[in-house]
């Protein structure tokens, strides 16, 4: 098919349209339902609505709060990577990892973060000193989104970015 034709040969297309419904896009409630049905969380708890919201905001450049077909596929790719990474550190399959395992996991994904920032981040996503899968994914989503924002703005690669108040709110409040 030419440019703009629906990807009818893509095995996920029918699945996408069934979930998206009339408006042809997926919002956070639809995403939560879909992720719960597919069982991508495996033996872990299903994703919270908050984490599903974050997954959508991560890719939602036009700020509609919804996801098209390509973003939908991107979310699945990201999720399966994060799940693999999490399972590598949750060896006893308890559904949670310890702070030092979380550090190792983020390093293994290529993030270079100071001990102070790491410690603040890990505390933010912990419950009783442990990090559960849903919160782990929420953390990975935010980290990826904010790292993308930083790189996009730091186009001279000087290691610094500049924000007006309004730009700062747009970046921090919508994710």
- Minimum CB–partner distance for residue 3 and its own copies (Å): 29
Which residues, including other chains, have CB under 8 Å from residue 50's CB and lie 6 or more apart? 138
Does the footprint of Ca ion cover residue 6 (CB under 5 A)? no
Integer CA distances (angstroms), 23 to 16, 91, 95, 141, in order: 12, 41, 35, 25
3-state secondary structure of 133: helix
CA distance 105 to 1: 41
6 backbone dihedrals φ, ψ, rounded to 5°: -65, 140
Helix/strand/coil for 127: strand
Q: How far is the CB of 167 from Ca ion (least distance, A)?
A: 30
Does 21 participate in binding Ca ion (rule CB under 5 A)?
yes
45 binds Ca ion, rule: CB under 5 A: no
Q: Binding its own copies by CB under 8 A: which of 1, 91, 155, 165?
A: 165
Nearest distance in Å: CB 60, its own copies: 9
**Interface residue list for its own copies (CB under 8 A):** 50, 53, 57, 63-65, 113-114, 116-117, 119-121, 123-124, 126, 139, 142-143, 146-147, 150, 154, 159-166, 168-175
């Amino acid at each position: 098919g030419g440019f703009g034709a629906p990807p009818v040969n893509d095995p996920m297309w029918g699945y996408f349209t069934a979930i998206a419904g009339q408006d042809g896009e997926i919002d956070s409630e639809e995403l939560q339902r879909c992720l719960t049905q597919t069982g991508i969380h495996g033996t872990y708890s299903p994703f919270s609505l908050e984490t599903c919201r974050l997954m959508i905001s991560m890719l939602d450049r036009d700020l509609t709060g919804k996801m098209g077909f390509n973003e939908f596929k991107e979310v699945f790719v990201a999720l399966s990577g994060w799940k693999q990474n999490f399972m590598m550190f949750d060896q006893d399959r308890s559904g949670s990892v310890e702070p030092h395992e979380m550090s190792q996991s983020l390093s293994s994904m290529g993030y270079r973060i100071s001990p102070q920032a790491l410690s603040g981040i890990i505390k933010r996503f912990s419950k009783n000193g442990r990090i559960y899968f849903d919160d782990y994914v929420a953390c990975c989503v935010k980290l990826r989104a904010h790292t993308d924002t930083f790189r996009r703005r730091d186009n001279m690669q000087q290691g610094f970015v500049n924000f007006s108040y309004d730009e700062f709110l747009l970046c921090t409040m919508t994710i």
